């Protein structure tokens, strides 16, 4: 406790860090207040049915990412997810399209162009999602809860003005995230998502406690057991997010079947989890597509219905397969064996028993192909764990915190933010947040920043 208090004093004594933290808290407060500002023309008293609809399933996940703004019919209802989707599309295009590859190599000017294209794409995606959201909203609250309206339903003016407001709300949230990145602490976009998720935790915890205290709920012992399991999952996710920084050469040779190595312990700069949490982000964005195309309708059939069932087999099977595929894909675009082999050769480094150059590149590629599999399987298991615990009787709201995208985002963002704070402390010769001073964040950011 004494060390913690001293750390807070040290943080306060660093003026730049103090100002950055205050700016971050102020911007987060603006975002949270905005999530309760209801769209013009909507009667807040008649949102009960919409809020019930977003208590579970994919809509519950969307509502969690927006910090409850989705269920509140807020001006921030679509949140930052359109920007995340646009960022993912741009990252994929940067791999496949030569134009974007050239922009990445142009330094600051290229990065500015990519950010501008990302913003335009965000507007387009939000404009496509907003009418579907409004159609679902009207179907849930009824036409009488919307003003102005005609006997046939809300007027065209309501739809046009609401679409413009939703687009403006998403762009404003994106702007707030960029301000946090520039003048605050941590990755702004990631922090906004994390705050939205954390905002749902007290209600989820309360609902689960009430459910367990009921006659058939299992009582306090079951509730405490769930908390212990949750803490265990958090520890595993922390290990997953931080990853393994170095792979022993001896272990690498065992992986590829070469047992002829010397007794000297050496390392090659590879990670067990080189892709970080990005595969889950990619896969989750794709899993949102069916329900978006269906207009958030309850009357879903066939493929769309199966892909919208959060606890269903086909949804989770597809989700897990996508995560495994994206883990290999993202590892392939972030780890370049040829470049690593070339750098080792230039610096006079080598792997004992492996010829420099092409053979070294093949060796590294084989190692990465094999060590990526267990990491991708564990990542997929963590992602589908909320569905598994939900089937076992945990309430849908609380189940979201037993792994999945939400827990990975929270852990990753917290580690990144603490890492930045620790860097400020160590630069000014203060003690870090931990005795070792080795807090590690994600290997990949959740969102792109402007």
Question: Whole-angstrom Cα distance, residue 315 to residue 291?
Answer: 12
Segment 226-245, tens digit of pLDDT: 888 888 878 777 776 665 44
Q: What is the pLDDT of residues 248-301, one digit of tens each?
A: 554 455 554 444 444 444 556 566 667 666 787 778 777 777 766 665 545 455
For residue 122, name the pLDDT band (cuts at 50, 70, 90): very high
Region of 276 on the Ramachandran plot (φ > 0 left; ψ -120 to 50 alpha; else beta): left
pLDDT in tens, 357-386: 888 888 888 888 888 888 888 888 888 888
What is the rounded distance in angstroms from the CA atom of residue 436 to the CA atom of residue 422?
A: 11
For the segment 305-309, the average pLDDT, to the nearest whole number, is 71
Euclidean distance between CA atoms 255 and 248, whole angstroms: 11
> What is the percentage of the chain residues whose pLDDT exceeds 70?
80
Q: Are 174 and 126 in contact (CB under 8 A)?
A: no
CA angle 63, 173, 22 (to 5 degrees): 110
Pinpoint the alpha helices (H) of 294-401.
302-306, 313-334, 337-346, 358-391, 396-399
Q: Which band of pLDDT confidence, cut at 50, 70 and 90, is reported for residue 168?
A: very high
How many other β-carbons are positioned within 10 Å of the β-carbon of residue 16? 10
Q: Are 94 and 113 in contact (CB under 8 A)?
A: no
On average, the pLDDT of the chain sits at 78
pLDDT at 165: 94
DSSP letters for 103-136 = HHTTTHHHHHHHHHHHHHHHHHHHHHHHHHHHHH
Name residue, tokens 């092409």: 358
Enclosing H/E stretch for 268:
strand 267-268
Residues ≥6 apart with Cβ < 8 Å to 322: 279, 282, 283, 286, 287
Q: Nearest 5°: phi and psi at 211?
A: -65, -40
> Which is nearest to 58 in space by CA: 335, 334, 400, 322?
400
Does domain 200-402 sit in CATH 1.10.3370.10? yes
Q: What is the pLDDT of residue 150?
A: 67
| CA–CA distance, 129 with 166 (Å, rounded to integer) | 9
Cβ 142 vs Cβ 190: under 8 Å: no
Q: Where in the chain is the domain with CATH 1.10.3370.10?
A: 14-196, 200-402
SS3 call for 145: helix
Cβ distance 427 to 435 under 8 Å?
A: no
3-state secondary structure of 154: strand
CA dist., res. 369 & res. 71, Å (int): 43
Tell me if the domain spanning 14-196 has CATH number 2.70.160.11: no
The answer to whether the CB of 49 falls within 8 A of the CB of 177 is no
Predicted model pTM: 0.76
DSSP result, 203-257: HHHHHHHHHHHSTTS-HHHHHHHHHHHHHHHHHHHHHHHH--S-EEHHHHHHHTT
pLDDT grade, residue 443 (50/70/90)? very low
Which pLDDT value is given to residue 445? 46
> Which residues neighbour 299 within 8 Å (Cβ) at sequence distance 6 or greater?
none
> Of 398, 332, 394, 390, which Cα lies nearest the Cα of 364?
332
User: Residue 391: which residues within 8 A CB-CB, separation 6 or more?
Assistant: 311
Residue 220: both structure tokens together: 């306090």
Q: 204-208: long-range contacts at Cβ-Cβ below 8 A with a sequence spacing of 24 or more? A: 204/395, 204/397, 204/398, 204/400, 204/401, 205/398, 207/395, 207/397, 207/398, 208/394, 208/395, 208/397, 208/398
- The DSSP H or E segment spanning 393 is none
Judge whether 173 and 28 are in contact, CB under 8 Å: no
CB half-sphere exposure, 238, CA atoms < 13 A: 10
| pLDDT over 60 at 402, yes or no | yes
User: What's the CA gap between 144 and 155, in Å, rounded?
Assistant: 12
């Amino acid at each position: 406790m004494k060390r913690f208090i001293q750390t807070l004093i040290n943080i306060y004594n660093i003026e730049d860090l103090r100002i950055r933290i205050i700016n971050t808290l102020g911007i987060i407060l603006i975002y949270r207040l905005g999530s309760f500002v209801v769209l013009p023309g909507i009667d807040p008293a008649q949102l009960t049915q919409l809020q019930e609809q977003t208590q579970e399933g994919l809509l519950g996940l969307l509502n969690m990412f927006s910090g409850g703004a989705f269920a509140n019919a807020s001006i921030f209802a679509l949140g930052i997810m359109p920007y995340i989707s646009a960022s993912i599309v741009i990252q994929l295009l940067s791999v496949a399209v030569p134009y974007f590859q050239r922009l990445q190599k142009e330094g600051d000017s290229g990065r500015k162009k990519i950010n501008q294209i990302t913003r335009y794409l965000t507007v387009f995606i939000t404009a496509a999602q907003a009418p579907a959201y409004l159609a679902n909203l009207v179907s849930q609250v009824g036409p009488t809860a919307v003003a102005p309206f005609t006997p046939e339903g809300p007027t065209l003016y309501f739809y046009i003005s609401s679409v413009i407001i939703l687009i403006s709300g998403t762009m404003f949230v994106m702007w707030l995230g960029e301000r946090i990145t520039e003048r605050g602490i941590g990755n702004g976009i990631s922090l906004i998502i994390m705050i939205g998720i954390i905002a749902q935790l007290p209600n989820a915890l309360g609902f689960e406690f009430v459910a367990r205290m009921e006659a058939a709920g299992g009582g306090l012992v079951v509730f405490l057991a769930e908390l212990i399991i949750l803490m265990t999952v958090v520890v595993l996710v922390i290990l997953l997010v931080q990853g393994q920084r170095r792979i022993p050469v001896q272990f690498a040779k065992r992986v590829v079947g070469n047992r002829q190595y010397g007794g000297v312990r050496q390392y090659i700069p590879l990670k067990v989890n080189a892709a970080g949490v990005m595969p889950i982000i990619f896969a989750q964005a794709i899993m949102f597509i069916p329900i978006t195309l269906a207009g958030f309708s309850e009357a879903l059939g066939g493929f769309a219905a199966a892909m919208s069932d959060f606890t269903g087999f086909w949804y989770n099977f597809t989700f897990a397969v996508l995560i495994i595929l994206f883990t290999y894909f993202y590892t392939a675009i972030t780890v370049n064996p040829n470049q690593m082999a070339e750098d080792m050769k230039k610096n006079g480094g080598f792997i004992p028993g492996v010829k420099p150059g092409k053979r070294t590149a093949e060796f590294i590629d084989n190692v990465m192909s094999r060590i990526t599999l267990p990491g991708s399987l564990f990542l997929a298991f963590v992602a589908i764990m909320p569905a598994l615990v939900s089937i076992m009787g945990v309430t849908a709201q609380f189940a979201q915190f037993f792994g999945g995208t939400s827990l990975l985002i929270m852990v990753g963002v917290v580690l990144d933010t603490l890492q930045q704070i620790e860097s400020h402390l160590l630069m000014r010769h203060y003690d870090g947040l931990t005795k070792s001073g080795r807090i590690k964040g994600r290997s990949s950011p959740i969102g792109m920043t402007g």
